[in-house]
Structure 1
Amino acid sequence: MIDPADIDIPDFLTRWYGPPTASSEQLPPEASWLPEPLRQWYGLASRWPELQSGGNRMYRPSHIQPDRGKAVFMEDSTGDWVWAFDSAEPDRVYEGEPGGAWSQAPENLAEFLAHATVRETIVLTQFGRLCAQVPDEFLPEILAPMEEVGFRGWKWPRPDQRIFLNDSLAANVGPAVDPQAPWRNRDGYAAVRVAGIEPSLLEYLDSVSSLAWIDLGPDR
Protein backbone atom coordinates (compact mmCIF):
# COMPACT_ATOMS: atom_id res chain seq x y z
CA MET A 1 0.00 0.00 0.00
CA ILE A 2 1.27 3.48 -0.88
CA ASP A 3 1.92 5.74 2.10
CA PRO A 4 0.15 9.09 1.43
CA ALA A 5 3.19 10.87 2.84
CA ASP A 6 5.30 9.38 0.02
CA ILE A 7 3.25 11.09 -2.72
CA ASP A 8 5.19 14.04 -4.12
CA ILE A 9 2.23 16.29 -4.95
CA PRO A 10 4.11 18.75 -7.24
CA ASP A 11 5.53 15.78 -9.19
CA PHE A 12 2.06 14.20 -9.32
CA LEU A 13 0.54 17.41 -10.66
CA THR A 14 3.26 17.80 -13.28
CA ARG A 15 2.62 14.29 -14.59
CA TRP A 16 -1.13 14.80 -14.80
CA TYR A 17 -1.40 18.47 -15.85
CA GLY A 18 2.02 19.26 -17.26
CA PRO A 19 4.46 21.89 -15.96
CA PRO A 20 2.95 24.70 -13.89
CA THR A 21 1.47 27.48 -15.99
CA ALA A 22 2.02 30.25 -13.44
CA SER A 23 4.37 31.18 -10.63
CA SER A 24 3.38 30.67 -7.04
CA GLU A 25 1.39 33.58 -5.62
CA GLN A 26 2.07 34.96 -2.18
CA LEU A 27 -0.89 34.86 0.17
CA PRO A 28 -1.94 38.18 1.71
CA PRO A 29 -0.72 38.89 5.26
CA GLU A 30 -4.22 38.36 6.67
CA ALA A 31 -4.00 34.70 5.60
CA SER A 32 -0.92 34.06 7.75
CA TRP A 33 -3.08 32.49 10.47
CA LEU A 34 -4.06 29.60 8.18
CA PRO A 35 -2.39 26.21 8.82
CA GLU A 36 0.80 25.58 6.87
CA PRO A 37 -0.59 22.62 4.81
CA LEU A 38 -3.46 24.81 3.62
CA ARG A 39 -1.13 27.69 2.73
CA GLN A 40 0.99 25.24 0.75
CA TRP A 41 -2.10 24.01 -1.10
CA TYR A 42 -3.00 27.56 -2.16
CA GLY A 43 0.54 27.93 -3.47
CA LEU A 44 0.09 24.81 -5.61
CA ALA A 45 -3.32 25.96 -6.82
CA SER A 46 -1.81 29.24 -8.01
CA ARG A 47 0.70 27.25 -10.10
CA TRP A 48 -1.84 24.72 -11.40
CA PRO A 49 -5.16 26.64 -11.68
CA GLU A 50 -6.93 23.42 -12.74
CA LEU A 51 -7.05 22.48 -9.06
CA GLN A 52 -9.61 25.21 -8.48
CA SER A 53 -12.05 23.98 -11.15
CA GLY A 54 -13.04 20.62 -9.69
CA GLY A 55 -16.22 19.35 -8.11
CA ASN A 56 -15.37 20.43 -4.58
CA ARG A 57 -14.89 24.14 -3.94
CA MET A 58 -11.99 25.36 -1.86
CA TYR A 59 -12.78 28.69 -0.22
CA ARG A 60 -10.65 31.74 -0.95
CA PRO A 61 -8.26 32.43 1.95
CA SER A 62 -10.06 35.69 2.78
CA HIS A 63 -13.37 33.80 3.12
CA ILE A 64 -12.10 31.37 5.75
CA GLN A 65 -13.20 32.60 9.15
CA PRO A 66 -13.36 30.80 12.51
CA ASP A 67 -16.87 30.11 13.78
CA ARG A 68 -17.44 28.40 17.13
CA GLY A 69 -14.00 26.85 17.03
CA LYS A 70 -14.12 25.60 13.41
CA ALA A 71 -12.98 27.25 10.17
CA VAL A 72 -14.66 25.92 7.02
CA PHE A 73 -12.26 25.78 4.06
CA MET A 74 -13.98 23.48 1.52
CA GLU A 75 -17.47 22.44 0.42
CA ASP A 76 -18.79 19.88 -2.04
CA SER A 77 -20.21 20.89 -5.42
CA THR A 78 -23.76 21.23 -4.10
CA GLY A 79 -22.92 22.94 -0.82
CA ASP A 80 -24.47 20.06 1.11
CA TRP A 81 -21.24 18.98 2.84
CA VAL A 82 -18.37 21.03 4.26
CA TRP A 83 -14.93 20.48 5.75
CA ALA A 84 -13.26 22.58 8.44
CA PHE A 85 -10.12 22.63 10.53
CA ASP A 86 -10.12 23.13 14.27
CA SER A 87 -9.08 26.66 15.23
CA ALA A 88 -7.28 25.45 18.37
CA GLU A 89 -5.79 22.28 16.82
CA PRO A 90 -5.53 23.10 13.10
CA ASP A 91 -4.15 19.71 12.10
CA ARG A 92 -7.57 18.20 12.83
CA VAL A 93 -10.17 18.09 10.04
CA TYR A 94 -13.93 17.97 10.64
CA GLU A 95 -16.78 17.34 8.22
CA GLY A 96 -20.55 17.52 8.18
CA GLU A 97 -23.63 19.23 6.83
CA PRO A 98 -23.61 23.04 7.00
CA GLY A 99 -24.97 24.10 10.37
CA GLY A 100 -25.12 20.50 11.58
CA ALA A 101 -23.01 18.44 13.95
CA TRP A 102 -19.31 18.04 13.22
CA SER A 103 -17.59 14.69 12.89
CA GLN A 104 -13.79 14.40 12.98
CA ALA A 105 -12.31 13.06 9.74
CA PRO A 106 -9.74 10.26 10.13
CA GLU A 107 -7.07 12.15 8.16
CA ASN A 108 -4.94 15.03 9.38
CA LEU A 109 -4.97 18.22 7.32
CA ALA A 110 -1.91 17.43 5.18
CA GLU A 111 -3.20 13.96 4.28
CA PHE A 112 -6.70 15.30 3.67
CA LEU A 113 -5.42 17.90 1.20
CA ALA A 114 -3.29 15.31 -0.63
CA HIS A 115 -6.33 13.01 -0.81
CA ALA A 116 -8.57 15.81 -2.08
CA THR A 117 -5.97 16.78 -4.70
CA VAL A 118 -5.62 13.24 -6.06
CA ARG A 119 -9.37 12.66 -6.02
CA GLU A 120 -10.07 15.91 -7.85
CA THR A 121 -7.46 15.02 -10.45
CA ILE A 122 -9.32 11.79 -11.20
CA VAL A 123 -12.42 13.93 -11.82
CA LEU A 124 -10.63 16.65 -13.80
CA THR A 125 -8.50 14.51 -16.09
CA GLN A 126 -9.13 14.65 -19.82
CA PHE A 127 -9.20 10.85 -20.18
CA GLY A 128 -11.39 8.73 -17.92
CA ARG A 129 -13.77 5.78 -17.79
CA LEU A 130 -16.66 5.18 -15.41
CA CYS A 131 -18.68 2.10 -14.57
CA ALA A 132 -21.22 2.62 -11.82
CA GLN A 133 -22.02 -1.09 -11.31
CA VAL A 134 -18.89 -3.26 -11.24
CA PRO A 135 -19.26 -6.74 -9.72
CA ASP A 136 -16.65 -7.18 -6.99
CA GLU A 137 -15.08 -10.17 -8.77
CA PHE A 138 -13.83 -7.87 -11.56
CA LEU A 139 -12.07 -5.42 -9.26
CA PRO A 140 -8.74 -7.33 -9.05
CA GLU A 141 -8.36 -7.24 -12.85
CA ILE A 142 -9.32 -3.56 -13.10
CA LEU A 143 -7.01 -2.49 -10.30
CA ALA A 144 -4.11 -4.85 -11.05
CA PRO A 145 -1.91 -2.15 -12.68
CA MET A 146 -2.24 0.10 -9.62
CA GLU A 147 -1.57 0.06 -5.90
CA GLU A 148 -3.93 1.27 -3.20
CA VAL A 149 -3.08 4.48 -1.38
CA GLY A 150 -3.43 4.36 2.39
CA PHE A 151 -5.79 7.33 2.58
CA ARG A 152 -8.13 7.01 5.52
CA GLY A 153 -11.04 8.67 3.78
CA TRP A 154 -14.03 10.73 4.79
CA LYS A 155 -17.78 10.30 4.69
CA TRP A 156 -18.61 12.17 1.47
CA PRO A 157 -20.17 11.22 -0.92
CA ARG A 158 -20.39 7.77 0.69
CA PRO A 159 -18.00 6.17 3.18
CA ASP A 160 -15.46 3.54 2.08
CA GLN A 161 -14.03 5.35 -0.95
CA ARG A 162 -10.58 4.06 -1.99
CA ILE A 163 -7.87 5.49 -4.24
CA PHE A 164 -5.46 3.47 -6.41
CA LEU A 165 -2.43 4.85 -8.29
CA ASN A 166 0.55 4.18 -10.48
CA ASP A 167 2.63 6.67 -12.46
CA SER A 168 0.05 7.05 -15.23
CA LEU A 169 -3.28 5.67 -13.95
CA ALA A 170 -5.51 6.58 -11.02
CA ALA A 171 -8.79 5.12 -9.82
CA ASN A 172 -11.48 5.95 -7.31
CA VAL A 173 -13.49 2.97 -6.05
CA GLY A 174 -16.54 3.32 -3.86
CA PRO A 175 -19.83 1.63 -3.04
CA ALA A 176 -22.30 1.23 -5.90
CA VAL A 177 -25.79 2.70 -5.51
CA ASP A 178 -28.59 0.18 -5.15
CA PRO A 179 -30.85 0.86 -8.18
CA GLN A 180 -33.89 -0.12 -6.13
CA ALA A 181 -32.98 2.05 -3.15
CA PRO A 182 -30.57 4.89 -4.04
CA TRP A 183 -29.93 5.75 -0.38
CA ARG A 184 -28.41 2.29 0.12
CA ASN A 185 -25.29 0.57 -1.20
CA ARG A 186 -25.64 -2.39 -3.56
CA ASP A 187 -24.00 -5.43 -1.99
CA GLY A 188 -21.33 -7.08 -4.14
CA TYR A 189 -20.89 -4.11 -6.49
CA ALA A 190 -18.65 -1.05 -6.69
CA ALA A 191 -18.61 2.23 -8.60
CA VAL A 192 -15.26 2.64 -10.36
CA ARG A 193 -13.76 5.65 -12.09
CA VAL A 194 -10.38 5.18 -13.79
CA ALA A 195 -8.29 8.05 -15.19
CA GLY A 196 -5.20 7.94 -17.37
CA ILE A 197 -2.68 10.51 -18.55
CA GLU A 198 -3.16 9.09 -22.09
CA PRO A 199 -6.32 7.50 -23.57
CA SER A 200 -4.46 4.38 -24.72
CA LEU A 201 -3.71 3.51 -21.10
CA LEU A 202 -7.41 2.85 -20.51
CA GLU A 203 -7.82 0.36 -23.34
CA TYR A 204 -7.08 -2.59 -21.04
CA LEU A 205 -10.50 -1.99 -19.48
CA ASP A 206 -12.17 -3.12 -22.72
CA SER A 207 -11.10 -6.68 -22.01
CA VAL A 208 -12.65 -6.78 -18.53
CA SER A 209 -15.69 -8.99 -19.12
CA SER A 210 -18.67 -7.17 -20.66
CA LEU A 211 -18.69 -4.13 -18.40
CA ALA A 212 -20.27 -1.02 -19.92
CA TRP A 213 -17.69 1.73 -19.46
CA ILE A 214 -18.65 5.34 -20.07
CA ASP A 215 -15.97 7.55 -21.62
CA LEU A 216 -15.54 10.70 -19.58
CA GLY A 217 -14.04 14.11 -20.08
CA PRO A 218 -13.22 16.57 -17.30
CA ASP A 219 -15.99 17.36 -14.81
CA ARG A 220 -15.82 21.16 -14.83
Structure 2
Amino acid sequence: MINPSDIDSSDLLGRWRGPARLPAVPPADFPLHLPLPLRKWYGLTSCWPEVRSAGTNVYEPSRVRTGVDRVAFMEDSTGDWVWAFDPDQPDIVYEGESTRALRRSPEDLAELLVHATVRSVILLSGSGRLGAQVPDEALPQILDPLECVDFGGWRWPRPGYRIHVANNLMAEVGPAVDPQAPWLNRAGYSAVRIAGLHDSDLDYLDSFPMVTWIDMGLGV
Protein backbone atom coordinates (compact mmCIF):
# COMPACT_ATOMS: atom_id res chain seq x y z
CA MET A 1 0.00 0.00 0.00
CA ILE A 2 1.14 3.53 -0.78
CA ASN A 3 0.61 6.10 1.95
CA PRO A 4 -1.36 9.04 0.49
CA SER A 5 1.00 11.44 2.27
CA ASP A 6 3.85 10.07 0.12
CA ILE A 7 2.19 11.35 -3.06
CA ASP A 8 3.66 14.68 -4.15
CA SER A 9 0.73 16.42 -5.86
CA SER A 10 2.96 19.08 -7.41
CA ASP A 11 5.23 16.47 -9.00
CA LEU A 12 2.21 14.43 -10.08
CA LEU A 13 0.60 17.38 -11.84
CA GLY A 14 3.85 18.42 -13.48
CA ARG A 15 4.42 14.96 -14.94
CA TRP A 16 0.84 14.25 -15.99
CA ARG A 17 -0.45 17.71 -16.94
CA GLY A 18 2.77 19.22 -18.25
CA PRO A 19 4.36 22.56 -17.34
CA ALA A 20 2.26 25.01 -15.37
CA ARG A 21 0.01 26.97 -17.73
CA LEU A 22 -0.61 29.86 -15.33
CA PRO A 23 1.47 31.54 -12.62
CA ALA A 24 1.07 30.08 -9.14
CA VAL A 25 -1.04 32.05 -6.65
CA PRO A 26 0.47 31.98 -3.14
CA PRO A 27 -1.72 30.29 -0.49
CA ALA A 28 -1.62 33.51 1.53
CA ASP A 29 -3.59 35.24 -1.25
CA PHE A 30 -6.64 33.07 -0.57
CA PRO A 31 -9.12 33.88 2.22
CA LEU A 32 -7.48 33.17 5.57
CA HIS A 33 -10.66 31.65 6.99
CA LEU A 34 -10.14 28.67 4.71
CA PRO A 35 -8.19 25.70 6.14
CA LEU A 36 -4.50 25.75 5.29
CA PRO A 37 -4.56 22.47 3.28
CA LEU A 38 -7.31 23.92 1.10
CA ARG A 39 -5.44 27.21 0.58
CA LYS A 40 -2.30 25.28 -0.37
CA TRP A 41 -4.33 23.19 -2.81
CA TYR A 42 -5.84 26.29 -4.41
CA GLY A 43 -2.32 27.66 -4.78
CA LEU A 44 -1.10 24.46 -6.42
CA THR A 45 -4.05 24.07 -8.78
CA SER A 46 -3.94 27.73 -9.81
CA CYS A 47 -1.30 26.49 -12.27
CA TRP A 48 -3.63 23.78 -13.64
CA PRO A 49 -7.18 25.08 -12.95
CA GLU A 50 -8.83 22.31 -14.97
CA VAL A 51 -8.02 19.94 -12.09
CA ARG A 52 -10.59 21.71 -9.89
CA SER A 53 -13.58 20.58 -11.95
CA ALA A 54 -12.70 17.15 -13.36
CA GLY A 55 -15.16 14.60 -12.05
CA THR A 56 -15.77 16.50 -8.86
CA ASN A 57 -16.05 20.25 -8.60
CA VAL A 58 -14.04 22.00 -5.90
CA TYR A 59 -15.69 25.36 -5.33
CA GLU A 60 -13.82 28.52 -6.16
CA PRO A 61 -12.68 30.20 -2.91
CA SER A 62 -15.39 32.86 -3.10
CA ARG A 63 -18.06 30.14 -3.06
CA VAL A 64 -16.81 28.51 0.17
CA ARG A 65 -19.22 30.04 2.67
CA THR A 66 -18.37 29.95 6.35
CA GLY A 67 -20.67 30.64 9.29
CA VAL A 68 -22.26 27.17 9.20
CA ASP A 69 -21.50 23.92 11.01
CA ARG A 70 -20.51 22.10 7.82
CA VAL A 71 -18.74 24.21 5.19
CA ALA A 72 -19.23 22.71 1.74
CA PHE A 73 -16.22 22.99 -0.56
CA MET A 74 -16.64 20.21 -3.15
CA GLU A 75 -19.51 18.48 -4.95
CA ASP A 76 -20.08 15.89 -7.64
CA SER A 77 -20.91 16.97 -11.18
CA THR A 78 -24.64 17.13 -10.46
CA GLY A 79 -24.45 18.76 -7.03
CA ASP A 80 -26.20 15.79 -5.43
CA TRP A 81 -23.21 14.75 -3.30
CA VAL A 82 -21.13 17.19 -1.27
CA TRP A 83 -18.01 17.25 0.86
CA ALA A 84 -17.68 19.73 3.74
CA PHE A 85 -15.22 20.57 6.50
CA ASP A 86 -15.90 21.42 10.12
CA PRO A 87 -14.84 25.05 10.75
CA ASP A 88 -13.94 24.22 14.36
CA GLN A 89 -11.92 21.15 13.34
CA PRO A 90 -11.05 21.87 9.70
CA ASP A 91 -9.10 18.65 9.17
CA ILE A 92 -12.33 16.69 9.60
CA VAL A 93 -14.34 16.14 6.40
CA TYR A 94 -17.98 15.12 6.02
CA GLU A 95 -19.70 13.82 2.91
CA GLY A 96 -23.09 12.70 1.71
CA GLU A 97 -26.18 13.59 -0.27
CA SER A 98 -26.68 17.33 -0.31
CA THR A 99 -30.26 17.05 0.97
CA ARG A 100 -29.44 14.79 3.92
CA ALA A 101 -27.25 14.78 6.99
CA LEU A 102 -23.57 14.36 6.15
CA ARG A 103 -21.41 11.61 7.62
CA ARG A 104 -17.78 11.86 8.60
CA SER A 105 -15.37 10.78 5.88
CA PRO A 106 -12.54 8.36 6.69
CA GLU A 107 -10.21 10.80 4.91
CA ASP A 108 -8.99 14.02 6.49
CA LEU A 109 -8.88 17.20 4.42
CA ALA A 110 -5.27 16.87 3.25
CA GLU A 111 -5.78 13.24 2.18
CA LEU A 112 -9.05 14.01 0.44
CA LEU A 113 -7.42 16.75 -1.63
CA VAL A 114 -4.69 14.35 -2.75
CA HIS A 115 -7.42 11.83 -3.64
CA ALA A 116 -9.30 14.47 -5.64
CA THR A 117 -6.10 15.47 -7.44
CA VAL A 118 -5.21 11.92 -8.46
CA ARG A 119 -8.74 11.20 -9.61
CA SER A 120 -8.84 14.40 -11.70
CA VAL A 121 -5.57 13.49 -13.38
CA ILE A 122 -6.96 10.07 -14.30
CA LEU A 123 -10.07 11.62 -15.84
CA LEU A 124 -8.09 14.30 -17.70
CA SER A 125 -5.48 11.95 -19.13
CA GLY A 126 -4.84 12.07 -22.83
CA SER A 127 -4.35 8.30 -22.79
CA GLY A 128 -7.05 6.37 -20.99
CA ARG A 129 -9.26 3.30 -21.20
CA LEU A 130 -12.38 2.15 -19.41
CA GLY A 131 -13.39 -1.43 -18.80
CA ALA A 132 -16.92 -1.20 -17.45
CA GLN A 133 -17.28 -4.98 -16.91
CA VAL A 134 -13.92 -6.49 -15.99
CA PRO A 135 -14.05 -10.06 -14.63
CA ASP A 136 -12.54 -10.08 -11.16
CA GLU A 137 -10.22 -12.96 -12.10
CA ALA A 138 -8.49 -10.64 -14.61
CA LEU A 139 -7.92 -7.85 -12.08
CA PRO A 140 -4.68 -9.11 -10.49
CA GLN A 141 -2.88 -9.17 -13.84
CA ILE A 142 -4.35 -5.87 -15.02
CA LEU A 143 -3.32 -4.14 -11.82
CA ASP A 144 -0.02 -5.98 -11.39
CA PRO A 145 2.11 -3.02 -12.60
CA LEU A 146 0.40 -0.69 -10.11
CA GLU A 147 0.20 -0.38 -6.33
CA CYS A 148 -2.91 0.47 -4.33
CA VAL A 149 -3.02 3.80 -2.50
CA ASP A 150 -4.25 3.53 1.09
CA PHE A 151 -6.95 6.18 0.79
CA GLY A 152 -9.69 5.99 3.39
CA GLY A 153 -12.24 5.91 0.57
CA TRP A 154 -15.28 7.91 -0.50
CA ARG A 155 -18.85 6.64 -0.44
CA TRP A 156 -19.36 8.30 -3.84
CA PRO A 157 -20.21 7.34 -6.53
CA ARG A 158 -20.73 4.13 -4.53
CA PRO A 159 -18.62 2.50 -1.81
CA GLY A 160 -15.74 0.27 -2.78
CA TYR A 161 -13.69 2.44 -5.16
CA ARG A 162 -9.92 2.46 -4.82
CA ILE A 163 -6.95 4.09 -6.55
CA HIS A 164 -3.86 2.30 -7.90
CA VAL A 165 -0.77 4.11 -9.18
CA ALA A 166 2.61 3.53 -10.81
CA ASN A 167 5.15 5.84 -12.39
CA ASN A 168 3.40 5.74 -15.77
CA LEU A 169 -0.06 4.37 -14.92
CA MET A 170 -2.96 5.29 -12.66
CA ALA A 171 -6.28 3.54 -12.24
CA GLU A 172 -9.57 3.92 -10.43
CA VAL A 173 -11.24 0.58 -9.68
CA GLY A 174 -14.70 0.05 -8.28
CA PRO A 175 -17.78 -2.14 -8.41
CA ALA A 176 -19.25 -2.80 -11.84
CA VAL A 177 -22.83 -1.72 -12.42
CA ASP A 178 -25.32 -4.55 -12.87
CA PRO A 179 -26.72 -4.03 -16.40
CA GLN A 180 -30.08 -5.45 -15.31
CA ALA A 181 -30.30 -3.31 -12.16
CA PRO A 182 -28.06 -0.20 -12.41
CA TRP A 183 -28.58 0.64 -8.73
CA LEU A 184 -26.85 -2.65 -7.79
CA ASN A 185 -23.29 -3.94 -8.14
CA ARG A 186 -22.64 -6.84 -10.51
CA ALA A 187 -21.13 -9.71 -8.56
CA GLY A 188 -17.79 -10.95 -9.90
CA TYR A 189 -17.04 -7.85 -11.98
CA SER A 190 -15.29 -4.52 -11.51
CA ALA A 191 -15.12 -1.26 -13.40
CA VAL A 192 -11.58 -0.13 -14.22
CA ARG A 193 -10.60 3.26 -15.58
CA ILE A 194 -6.88 3.35 -16.28
CA ALA A 195 -4.71 6.20 -17.52
CA GLY A 196 -1.22 6.12 -18.99
CA LEU A 197 1.39 8.80 -19.46
CA HIS A 198 1.53 7.67 -23.10
CA ASP A 199 -0.69 5.53 -25.31
CA SER A 200 1.98 2.83 -25.39
CA ASP A 201 1.74 2.43 -21.61
CA LEU A 202 -1.71 0.93 -22.12
CA ASP A 203 -0.74 -1.56 -24.84
CA TYR A 204 -0.50 -4.39 -22.30
CA LEU A 205 -4.27 -4.19 -21.84
CA ASP A 206 -4.70 -5.69 -25.32
CA SER A 207 -3.62 -9.04 -23.86
CA PHE A 208 -6.93 -9.30 -22.00
CA PRO A 209 -9.41 -10.29 -24.75
CA MET A 210 -12.11 -11.01 -22.18
CA VAL A 211 -12.33 -7.24 -21.47
CA THR A 212 -13.96 -4.72 -23.78
CA TRP A 213 -11.95 -1.53 -23.41
CA ILE A 214 -13.37 1.88 -24.34
CA ASP A 215 -10.90 4.58 -25.33
CA MET A 216 -11.35 7.42 -22.83
CA GLY A 217 -8.25 9.47 -23.63
CA LEU A 218 -8.88 13.16 -24.17
CA GLY A 219 -6.06 13.41 -26.67
CA VAL A 220 -4.47 16.37 -24.89
TM-score higher than 0.5: yes
The residue type paired with residue 149 of structure 2 is V
Corresponding residue number in structure 2 for 1:141: 141
Q: Deviations over 1:29-82 (max 9, x none)?
A: 671110111001101111112213412111111111135311000110011101
Instruction: Determine if contact 1:141/1:208 at 8 Å carries over to the other structure.
Output: no
Partners of 2:186 and 2:2 in 1: how far apart?
A: 28
Partners of 2:127 and 2:211 in 1: how far apart?
A: 18
Residues 1:116 and 2:106 are matched in the alignment: no
Partners of 1:30 and 1:166 in 2: how far apart?
A: 33
Instruction: Determine if contact 1:54/1:123 at 8 Å carries over to the other structure.
Output: yes
The residue type paired with residue 106 of structure 1 is P
TM-score of the superposition, structure 1-length normalised?
Answer: 0.95
The residue type paired with residue 57 of structure 2 is R
SS at match of 2:90: coil
The alignment of Structure 1 onto Structure 2 pairs a total of residues equal to 220
Corresponding residue number in structure 2 for 1:4: 4
Instruction: Determine if contact 1:173/1:193 at 8 Å carries over to the other structure.
Output: yes
Q: Deviations over 1:144-171 (max 9, x none)?
A: 1110110111100011101000111000
Corresponding residue number in structure 1 for 2:39: 39
SS at match of 1:212: coil
Instruction: Determine if contact 2:28/2:39 at 8 Å carries over to the other structure.
Output: no
1:209 Cα deviation after fit = 3.2
Q: Deviations over 1:89-115 (max 9, x none)?
A: 100000111131111000000000000
Corresponding residue number in structure 2 for 1:194: 194
**Larger displacement relative to structure 2 (83-92 or 26-35):** 26-35
Corresponding residue number in structure 1 for 2:173: 173
The residue type paired with residue 163 of structure 2 is I
Partners of 1:76 and 1:177 in 2: how far apart?
A: 18
Could you list the runs of 5+ residues in structure 2 that have no partner in the other structure? none
The residue type paired with residue 10 of structure 1 is S
Instruction: Determine if contact 2:30/2:39 at 8 Å carries over to the other structure.
Output: no
TM-score of the superposition, structure 2-length normalised?
Answer: 0.95
The residue type paired with residue 197 of structure 2 is I
The residue type paired with residue 19 of structure 2 is P
Corresponding residue number in structure 2 for 1:127: 127
Q: Please show how residues 85-100 of structure 1 align to structure 2 within 5 Å.
A: 85-100=85-100
Q: Deviations over 1:107-162 (max 9, x none)?
A: 00000000011011111111100010001000011001110110111100011101
SS at match of 1:90: strand
Partners of 1:27 and 1:14 in 2: how far apart?
A: 18
Residues 1:48 and 2:48 are matched in the alignment: yes
Partners of 1:82 and 1:199 in 2: how far apart?
A: 34
Change (3 A) 1:47 1:29: closer
Instruction: Determine if contact 1:30/1:62 at 8 Å carries over to the other structure.
Output: no
1:28 Cα deviation after fit = 7.5
Instruction: Determine if contact 1:81/1:96 at 8 Å carries over to the other structure.
Output: yes
Instruction: Determine if contact 2:27/2:40 at 8 Å carries over to the other structure.
Output: no
1:87 Cα deviation after fit = 1.1
